């Protein structure tokens, strides 16, 4: 009787279906042909997860909503009126935060799961509308006067508070971005290369300071076990900013570029050890790409200084051979990390 109940349990629970087991039971005469077919049909019709598909659609919906509101306001600013627009944005923001406050689980220094599937997206919408509201207020009414830093400092403080209070990684990323904007640094590498001026030495040192600060915060977050799952977000931003600042220093301080190899090598070594300690191939990939960029700059600069035809040949040989070497190195490191 127990065996039959076990078989029946497996048949009605697709998650536990083991087809080879049932086929063996069928060969031993313990399971009839119709029962075996029934088990196979249930296994073929088992449920599958659409979790990430739904999350992607919801995130896209939030972005389309905020973008659509911006376009609508831009095209109808003369007929709608600034006060009406501010009131609508403020009401939407307050409504989002009111919902999140009512639904959130009690605060804890460890990971706190979202109370439902829509909580994260409502909070994200509330934070986006908050930034829109403060920016609109400053641009239209110069609410902060000439103290333009307050327009990024105040949202930064609120976003950091919301990230920890509601336990949201997306809001934490927005807060770090505002921190970088407040310091005059664009976060993403594409924006740094396109929007910022590397002739400004202060920008480079500000990037180094921000990168070190974020890395230290990540270490303290893990050490003190205060939202330890925030560690990777801090490290990810800090690592990219540190590497880009070092490379920018090499490019800007042209006469002293060898000196920038020292901090670059130190950062590479630090994240190499971290990659092995955390078994993270992502860190290994990023340090390899940034380190390779720095070494290639030095090599190409040295070869170009010779100003002969052979230098061009050696440059081509260098990039071909070094490219193969990088691929082999990453392949070997990937195997080492897995083991």
The residue with tokens 């403080």 is: 157
Give the predicted TM-score (pTM) of the model.
0.74
Q: CA-based angle 296:299:304, to the nearest 5?
A: 120
The residue with tokens 């974020």 is: 214
How do residues 3-22 score in pLDDT, each as one tens digit?
444 444 444 444 445 667 77
Assign 226 to helix, strand or coil: coil
Average pLDDT estimate for 173-194: 70
CA separation for the pair 25, 23 (Å, rounded): 5
Do residues 337 and 284 make contact, with C-beta atoms less than 8 angstroms apart?
yes
How do residues 37-94 score in pLDDT, each as one tens digit?
777 776 665 555 655 666 677 667 777 777 776 677 666 666 667 788 788 889 989 9
Maximum Cα–Cα distance across the chain: 88
């Amino acid at each position: 009787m127990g065996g039959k109940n076990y078989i029946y349990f497996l048949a009605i629970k697709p998650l536990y279906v083991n087809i080879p087991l049932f086929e063996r039971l069928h060969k031993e005469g313990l399971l009839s042909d119709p029962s075996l077919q029934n088990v196979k049909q249930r296994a073929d019709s088992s449920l599958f997860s659409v979790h990430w598909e739904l999350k992607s659609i919801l995130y896209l919906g939030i972005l389309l909503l905020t973008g659509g509101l911006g376009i609508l306001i831009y095209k109808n600013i003369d007929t709608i009126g600034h006060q009406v627009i501010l009131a609508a944005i403020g009401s939407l923001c307050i409504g989002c935060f009111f919902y999140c406050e009512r639904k959130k689980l009690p605060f804890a220094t460890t990971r706190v799961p979202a109370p439902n599937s829509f909580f994260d997206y409502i909070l994200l919408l509330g934070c986006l509308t908050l930034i829109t509201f403060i920016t609109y207020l400053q641009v239209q009414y110069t609410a902060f006067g000439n103290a333009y830093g307050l327009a990024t400092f105040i949202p930064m403080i609120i976003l950091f508070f919301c990230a920890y209070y509601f336990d949201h990684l997306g809001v934490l990323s927005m807060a770090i971005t505002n921190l970088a904007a407040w310091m005059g640094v664009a976060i993403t590498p594409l924006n740094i290369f396109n929007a910022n001026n590397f002739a400004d030495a202060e920008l480079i040192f500000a990037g180094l300071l921000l990168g070190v600060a974020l890395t230290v915060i990540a270490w303290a977050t893990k050490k003190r076990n205060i939202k330890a799952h925030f560690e990777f977000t801090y490290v990810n931003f800090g690592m990219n900013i540190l590497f880009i600042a070092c490379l920018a220093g090499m490019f800007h301080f042209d006469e002293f570029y060898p000196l920038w190899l020292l901090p670059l090598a130190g950062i590479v070594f630090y994240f190499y050890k971290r990659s092995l300690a955390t078994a993270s191939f992502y860190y290994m990939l990023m340090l390899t790409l940034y380190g390779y960029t720095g070494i290639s700059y030095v090599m190409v600069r040295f070869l170009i200084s010779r100003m002969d035809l052979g230098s061009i040949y050696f440059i081509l040989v260098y990039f071909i051979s070094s490219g193969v070497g990088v691929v082999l190195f990453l392949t070997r490191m990937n195997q080492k990390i897995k083991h």
